[in-house]
Amino acid sequence: VGSRLPNLGVLGKAEYLSLEFTHSWMSALPLQWIDGSILLWATTGVVSRL
């Protein structure tokens, strides 16, 4: 990237990666929670029918 500002490039890349990771984690969390509650509801429904 810019050889004149190597530190800024590294810091910017690290900050970008951490932001990207946080954003993907935050957006994936509700989906995982919905999937988990559906799975829990399905398994409890199956168990209660046995």
pLDDT digits (tens, 9 = 90+) for 19-35: 888 888 878 777 778 88
**Cβ(9)–Cβ(1) below 8 Å:** yes
Question: Which positions ≥6 away from 1 have C-beta within 8 Å?
Answer: 9, 13
**Average pLDDT, whole number, for the chain?**
78
Counting the structural domains of the chain, the total is 1
Per-residue pLDDT for 5 more than 80? no
pLDDT for position 1: 52
- Which pLDDT does position 20 carry in this prediction? 87
Q: Which domain holds residue 8?
A: 1-50
Please tell me the predicted confidence (pLDDT) of residue 2.
53
Distance CA 35, CA 30 (A): 8
Tell me what the mean pLDDT of segment 3-27 comes to: 77
**CB neighbours (10 Å) of residue 9?**
13
Q: What is the 8-class DSSP label of residue 3?
A: T
Read off the pTM: 0.36
